[in-house]
């Protein structure tokens, strides 16, 4: 078993290890990995034990970790293993409250939920049954927010939601400004859904129609550019909303015959049809190097194991409601991704803001994607293709409608001792506001500092108050280049890395584009336009000093 650092041990103890009714921890980290490996491998037909051992080896070596619900729930009474769900909301009280109930059940089982509120009639519209006036999508979102507040996921953390509204909805302005008030919608990330009609109107300056979803009537004609400005202004101030590019998402919808995708899971990395869910897992790239080279063989081997693990996990997972069970078993979506991208760059001596980093992103994700699809094809030969494969876009039988996703890995990266997802580091040493404060120290930095003879405790203490080490004289320039922080990397380089990954990812990429505190609203707009240009499926910005993100900000465990 790889060595777990102090942070990993604390996170596991506080949130993941099984407890008895009195709250006493009754398993070790090693037993957790064994429990998860055994429970997932139970889906295998032959060689259950051999497969369980291989899963255990990869988990305990911190080479591959599944999403939190799998680590928490596999092999326990609550056998729900997926992190990501999307539920439908129609324009009726029955639908809204049915989905609210299902949301509660999903949160209770450890999953996060996304919804499009676009079908709900706008504020002031008629309500025939009562002769009253409608209160609009934003007011119904509030009910979901309040319900979420009360339910801890799997008893261990609060739930997370993604709220989506079409840019053409008459209430779009109220939606865009919904999180402006401090503490409003703290359990929601928000995304405005855009499509070609919106971007054409931004470009041409032609009026853009706001349409009542109940009647199909145009109720207003507005300047799309002004809407985009408002989105940029609020994103500048609060980090929300982000944007979804629904046309791009639906161009890559693997099962268009089953319907149009309208929403994603809470962090945006998995666009899903209503009732679909997805189990994620991430390969730790920091463990996929050999000296200063990428170990392609080990990476491919780990991805093969990861896809098999997630396909098994789908079979042994329970789902909170029958509609979800049905939707999941039709398309069998899984998402293998990566964490520790910045760690890998450090190991191979590449600066995050360089063209070479983009080339590494491209090389790594191409290999991950090709290997994942090859594995899914083999699984189809062994176990049959996903049930609606013949109605899908694929010519060859494959076991899963999607195989790849880049998750934020907010918590599992802390267990793995890896940099989160594909993000640059926050700093080489800092205090993370989780579980009462955890000291995060970058092992690679400490190792290099010791080897190069500039390590001392006082230096680390000094670095702790910074968000960049670039102007610290005691650190050699070539080392500083390797440890660029999220604040050092220019926004356009964040977008370039995201795009390089997205080009090889079936689902989407979770990434925050950091902007300096003195960035302008126009800079946010520029990032949005670059994201659109480069074929991203969504984009989220965060300006340093803007309100801290609440749902999945500093404390992903809350």
**61 or 151: whose CB is closer to ligand CDP?**
151
Select the span of 29-37, 115-123, 124-132, 402-410 touching ligand CDP (CB under 6 A): 402-410
Of 408 and 491, CB closest to ligand CDP: 408
> Which of the following is catalytic: 262, 269, 287, 423?
269
Q: Is 382 a catalytic residue?
A: no
Phi-psi region of 67 (alpha: psi -120 to 50; beta: other; left: phi over 0): beta
Binding of ligand CDP by 418 (CB under 6 A):
no
Matching residue, tokens 């049930």: 387
The answer to the question of residue 410 lying near ligand CDP (CB under 6 A) is yes
Binding mask 23-62 for ligand CDP (x = CB under 6 A): ----------------------------------------
Give, as ranges, the residues between 160 and 189 that touch ligand CDP (CB under 6 A): 160
- Residue 443 main-chain phi, psi, to 5 deg: -60, -40
Of all residues in the shown chain, the one whose CB is closest to ligand CDP is 112
Write out the two tokens for 272: 């899903």
**Applying CB under 6 A, does 272 fall inside the site for ligand CDP?**
no
Among residues 101, 105, 135, the alpha carbon closest in space to that of 120 is found at 135
Least CB distance to ligand CDP at residue 172 (A): 24
- Answer for which of 154, 271, 385, 408 binds ligand CDP (CB under 6 A) is 408
Q: Which stretch binds ligand CDP (CB under 6 A): 73-81, 155-163, 166-174, 457-465?
A: 155-163
* Of 220 and 549, CB closest to ligand CDP: 549
- Residue 423 is classified by DSSP as P
Instruction: Write the DSSP symbol of residue 2.
Output: P
Instruction: Pick the stretch among 46-54, 388-396, 407-415, 491-499 that binds ligand CDP (CB under 6 A).
Output: 407-415
Which of 32, 43, 81, 83 binds ligand CDP (CB under 6 A)? It is 83
Instruction: Give the three-state DSSP class for 555.
Output: coil
The first and second tokens of residue 200, run together, are 């054409």
Compute the least distance from the CB of residue 410 to ligand CDP, in Å.
3
Question: What CA–CA distances, in Å, run from 395 to 74, 141, 319, 401, 537?
Answer: 34, 40, 29, 12, 24
The binder of ligand CDP chosen from 412, 418, 505, 509 (CB under 6 A): 412
Task: Choose one: 245-253, 306-314, 395-403, 408-416; the region binding ligand CDP (CB under 6 A).
Answer: 408-416
DSSP secondary structure letter of residue 470: T
Q: Decide if 452 contacts 474 (C-beta within 8 A).
A: no
Catalytic residue among 187, 212, 253, 265: 265
Residue whose entry in the numeric block shows the structure tokens 């579980």: 435
Contact set for ligand CDP, span 488-547 (CB under 6 A): none
398 versus 401: smaller Cβ distance to ligand CDP: 401
Q: How many CB atoms lie within 10 A of CB 149?
A: 12
CB of 489 to ligand CDP, least distance (A): 20
Helix (H) / strand (E) containing 330: helix 322-331
**Residue 425 near residue 483, CB atoms below 8 Å:** yes
Query: Of these, 409, 419, 484, 507, which contacts ligand CDP (CB under 6 A)?
Result: 409
| 8 Å CB contact between 191 and 176 | no
Candidates 67, 400, 427, 502; binder of ligand CDP (CB under 6 A) is 67
Annotation says 269 is catalytic: yes
- Cα three-residue angle 247-249-253, rounded to 5 degrees: 110
Q: In whole angstroms, how close is the CB of 432 to ligand CDP at the nearest point?
A: 14
Does residue 553 sit in helix, strand or coil?
Answer: coil
Which residue in the set 267, 428, 539, 546 belongs to the binding site for ligand CDP (CB under 6 A)?
Answer: 267
State both tokens at 539. Answer: 């984009």
Q: Which of 157, 179, 333, 537 binds ligand CDP (CB under 6 A)?
A: 157
| C-beta of 83 vs 365, nearer to ligand CDP | 83
Residue 443: count of CB within 10 angstroms of its CB: 12
Among the listed residues 161, 189, 262, 267, the single catalytic one is 267
Q: Residues 6 or more apart from 505 whose CB is under 8 A from it?
A: 337, 365, 369, 404, 405, 406
Name residues contacting ligand CDP, limited to 90-149 (CB under 6 A): 111-112
Whose Cβ is closer to ligand CDP: residue 84's or residue 519's?
84
Q: Is 317 in the site for ligand CDP (CB under 6 A)?
A: no
Q: Is 98 part of the annotated catalytic residue set?
A: no
CB 189 within 8 A of CB 180: no
Cα(2)–Cα(14) distance, integer angstroms: 20
Q: Which listed range, 42-50, 93-101, 140-148, 153-161, lies at the site for ligand CDP (CB under 6 A)?
A: 153-161
CB atoms within 10 A of CB 550: 23
The minimum distance between CB 240 and ligand CDP, in angstroms, equals 15
Dihedral over Cα of 550, 551, 556, 558: its sign = positive
- Contacts to ligand CDP from residues 207-266, by CB under 6 A: 265-266
Please name the residues in contact with 317: beta carbons below 8 A apart, sequence gap of 6 or more.
79, 80, 81, 82, 279, 328
- Residue 73 or 153 with smaller CB distance to ligand CDP: 153
Structure token digits, residue 510:
């979770």
Does 411 bind ligand CDP (CB under 6 A)? Our answer is yes
Give the shortest CB-339-to-ligand CDP separation in angstroms.
8
Go through 335-364 and write b for each residue having 16 or more CB atoms within 10 A of its CB, e for each that does not: bbbbbbbbbbbbbbebbbbeeebbebbbeb
Please report how close the Cβ of residue 146 comes to ligand CDP at its closest, in angstroms. 17
- By CB under 6 A, is residue 310 in contact with ligand CDP? no
The nearer residue to ligand CDP, 38 or 269, going by C-beta atoms, is 269
Quote the least distance from Cβ 153 to ligand CDP, whole Å: 6
The Cα 469–Cα 491 span in angstroms is 18
> The tokens of 50 are what?
């051999």
Q: By the 8 A CB rule, do 153 and 111 touch?
A: yes
Q: Which residues are catalytically annotated?
A: 265, 267, 269
Q: Catalog residues that contact ligand CDP under the rule CB under 6 A.
A: 67-68, 83-84, 111-112, 153, 157, 159-160, 265-267, 269, 407-412, 552, 556
């Amino acid at each position: 078993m790889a060595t777990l650092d102090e942070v990993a041990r604390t996170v596991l103890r506080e949130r993941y290890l099984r407890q008895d009714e009195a709250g006493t921890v009754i398993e070790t980290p090693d037993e957790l990995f064994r429990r998860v490996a055994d429970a997932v491998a139970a889906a295998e037909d032959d060689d259950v034990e051999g497969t369980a051992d291989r899963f255990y080896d990869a988990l305990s070596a911190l080479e591959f970790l599944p999403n939190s619900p799998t680590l928490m729930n596999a092999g326990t009474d609550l056998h729900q293993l997926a992190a990501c769900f999307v539920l439908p909301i129609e324009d009726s009280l029955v639908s809204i409250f049915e989905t609210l109930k299902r949301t509660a059940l999903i949160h209770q089982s450890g999953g996060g939920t996304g919804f499009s509120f676009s079908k709900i009639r706008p504020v002031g519209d008629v309500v025939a049954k009562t002769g009253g006036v409608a209160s609009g999508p934003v007011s119904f979102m509030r009910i979901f927010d309040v319900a979420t507040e009360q339910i801890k996921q799997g008893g261990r953390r609060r739930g997370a939601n993604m709220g989506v509204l079409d840019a053409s909805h008459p209430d779009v302005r109220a939606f865009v400004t919904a999180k402006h008030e401090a503490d409003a919608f703290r359990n929601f990330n928000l995304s405005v859904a855009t499509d070609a009609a919106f971007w054409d109107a931004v470009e041409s300056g032609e009026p853009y129609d706001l349409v009542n979803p109940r009647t199909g009537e145009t109720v207003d004609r507005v300047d799309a550019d002004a809407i985009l400005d408002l989105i940029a202004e609020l994103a500048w101030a609060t980090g929300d909303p982000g944007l979804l590019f629904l046309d791009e998402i639906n161009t890559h919808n693997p099962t268009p015959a089953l319907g149009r995708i309208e929403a994603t899971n809470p962090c945006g990395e998995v666009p899903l049809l209503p009732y679909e869910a997805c189990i994620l897992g991430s390969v730790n790239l920091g463990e996929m190097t050999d000296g200063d080279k990428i170990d392609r063989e080990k990476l491919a081997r780990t991805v093969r194991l990861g896809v098999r693990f997630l396909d098994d996990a789908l079979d042994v997972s329970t789902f909170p409601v029958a509609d979800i069970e049905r939707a999941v078993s039709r398309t069998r979506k899984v998402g293998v991704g990566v964490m520790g991208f910045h760690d890998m760059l450090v190991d191979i001596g590449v600066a995050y803001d360089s063209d070479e980093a983009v080339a590494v992103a491209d090389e790594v994700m191409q290999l991950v994607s090709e290997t994942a699809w090859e594995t899914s094809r083999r699984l189809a030969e062994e176990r049959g293709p996903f049930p609606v494969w013949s109605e899908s876009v694929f010519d060859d039988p494959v076991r899963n409608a999607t195989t790849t996703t880049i998750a934020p890995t907010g918590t599992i990266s802390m267990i793995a001792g890896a940099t989160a997802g594909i993000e640059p580091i926050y700093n080489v040493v800092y205090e993370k506001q989780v579980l009462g404060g955890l000291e995060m120290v970058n092992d690679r930095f400490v190792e290099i500092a010791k080897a190069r003879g500039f390590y001392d405790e006082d230096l680390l203490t000094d670095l702790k108050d910074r968000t960049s080490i670039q102007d610290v004289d005691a650190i050699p320039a070539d080392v500083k280049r390797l440890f660029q922080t999220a604040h050092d990397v220019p926004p356009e380089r964040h977008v370039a890395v995201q795009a390089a990954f997205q080009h090889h990812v079936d689902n989407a990429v979770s990434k925050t584009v950091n902007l300096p505190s003195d960035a302008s609203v126009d800079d946010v707009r520029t990032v949005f336009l670059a994201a659109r240009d480069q074929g991203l499926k969504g984009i989220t910005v965060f300006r340093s000093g803007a309100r801290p993100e609440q749902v999945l900000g500093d404390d992903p465990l809350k």
